[in-house]
Amino acid sequence: MADSTGISEISKTDRPVISALLAVAVLTILGCVVVPDMMNKGIATGTKFLSETFGWLFLGIYAVNLLAVFAIGFSRYGSIRLGGLEKPEFSLFTWMSMFFTAALAVSLIFFAPADLIMQAATVPPAFPGITPGSNEAVEAGIAYVGVNWLPMFPGYSLAALGIMIAVYHKGMPFTPSSMFYPLLARNKEGGCFGGFIGRSFNFFSALAILVGTVAPIGLLSLSLGRSLEVLYGVQPTNMLYFGIIGTIMVVVTLAAVTGLYKGIMYMAKWNAYGLLLLGLAIMLLGPTRYIVTLFFSSWGIMLKEYPRLALWLNPGGDMTWLSYWPIFFAAFCIGWIPIMGAFLARISRGRTVREITVTATVILNVAFIAWYIMMAGASIHYDRLLNGLVTKALSLGGTEMVLWTWLNQVPFHQILAPLTIVITVLCLVTTADSIAITISQATTGATNPGKMHKALWSIAMCTMAAMLVVVGGAATIQGAIVIVGFPIAIYMAVYNFHCLPKILVDVETLSNKCADEEYVNVALACEECPSE
């Protein structure tokens, strides 16, 4: 079987993984309905134990990703072009838009406005003696922005390298487990899912992305409902939330079914244009001077404090704050690495190792920090201007209320508010449809999975989100990411230190055999290059 560009692929539905995922989803929802207190207590206990016992593992793997991506990108492997194409499938803007919105769309709307104001209110233990809410507390929060977010894209890039080389240059199926091919034996059909070890990795990868996506879909749906209440007086009810999520489900399913080159690509570009428009409006109409000075100051703060804080675990002290912030974010992003790496691998054909690592990391991190500081800075500014009203809204209404509390202070908010609602929907759709396709790939091994698979996961994600909104379990499930991310952290440690070096040597060997005068390109489509 071959995809649209002629690269052969192995496709076989992995029914055990699909069945296990659906079973866990059903049991989780039932747990939130029947025994919510037990679910809360169990997840809290597991999260506390893993954070205190293995926090070093989460932070260590996370920090290694940031160093490794530059070491590999600027190494002799950097010029190798991957994916079997002479030039990239997508333009730089389209490529960055698709990955940026798929990986971060939920965080852009949900976390960014409230993240810094929460950290400033609860000063990190690494900065003793600072008054909560002060300028020094804001700077301490910014220092942890670097710890929490800068290593995220590098982790996705490293996974993408392994998956691209395994799939496009070694003939493996399009599953996250294929990046472990140096360890996993291949059977007569080409290895399929790597036996129990490979299947378990695919299962945990898909489960982590479900946990990490379903909860934000539910929480952002709550945000949309409350925005309609604040802006237009619409009373939020379960029927309203069902209507919001139902509409999102229809759009997500259609976008996923139409595929990468139609639904997802156009949705991501519209999302990117909308974010640029909204960001420009807030920058020019909001507290421009404060946002600009905070943005440039932030880089110095983050780069100065990162070496001290990246692996800091408050030896001998309480780890509660760390488990809620850097350890949680590290576990969250590590849990997303396999599936987001697979998505990046799918859209990066024709790009070099250096583009996938260094270029993607630099451009995306700068774009994300700019957006983050703009939204978080506006929250800080208006909170002080309104005598703590934003903080009060956060404590009473939750994270989803922060943005809507200060947005009506910005000139032309009558236009910006509906634009923000549209962008929030686009963010939800872009993230969900990208993940639906990638989970379909992980459970079939196909580069272009069938429409039924994509529709299945689109509907499953939105149905779970709707149920969790009704029973109030979205926040509970989001906390489980530390538990689900733990086995993936172990896998990724093995991948970074054992598999990835061997994979890079493999592709370099093939590149030396297949290099021509214009570019270095290796693929199964090159008849002179053996796949083994």
- Give pLDDT tens digits for 257-279: 887 777 788 888 998 999 999 99
Q: What is the pLDDT of residue 26?
A: 84
Domain boundaries 54-452+488-514, CATH class: mainly alpha
Q: What is the pLDDT of residue 72?
A: 96
Average pLDDT over residues 41-59: 92
Query: What does each C-alpha distance from 100 to 134, 360, 361, 403 come to in angstroms?
Result: 32, 9, 11, 21
Share in percent of the chain as helix, strand, coil (round to 5):
75, 0, 25
Instruction: Say if residues 268 and 97 touch (Cβ distance below 8 Å).
Output: yes
In terms of Cβ atoms closer than 10 Å to its own Cβ (0-12, 13-18, 19+), residue 182 is middle
Tens of pLDDT, residue by residue over 386-400, are 999 999 988 887 777
Comparing CA positions, the residue from 464, 471, 475 lying closest to residue 439 is 464
Please tell me which residue, 262 or 517, carries the higher pLDDT value. Answer: 262
Give the percent of the chain with pLDDT over 90. 47
Comparing CA positions, the residue from 110, 30, 162 lying closest to residue 502 is 162
Q: What mean pLDDT value characterizes the chain?
A: 86
Residue 357 DSSP code: I
Task: Check whether 64 has a pLDDT greater than 90.
Answer: yes
Of 124-128, 207-211, 273-277, 338-342, the poorest mean pLDDT is in 207-211
Instruction: Say if residues 295 and 369 touch (Cβ distance below 8 Å).
Output: yes
Q: What is the pLDDT of residue 194?
A: 62
Task: Check whether 3 has a pLDDT greater than 60.
Answer: no
Q: What is the DSSP string of 409-453?
A: TSTTHHHHHHHHHHHHHHHHHHHHHHHHHHHHHHHH--SS--HHH
Q: What is the pLDDT of residue 381?
A: 95
Tens of pLDDT, residue by residue over 460-514, are 888 888 877 777 666 667 678 889 999 999 999 999 999 999 999 988 887 776 5
Of 95-104, 284-293, 368-377, 383-392, the poorest mean pLDDT is in 95-104
Q: What is the pLDDT of residue 229?
A: 80
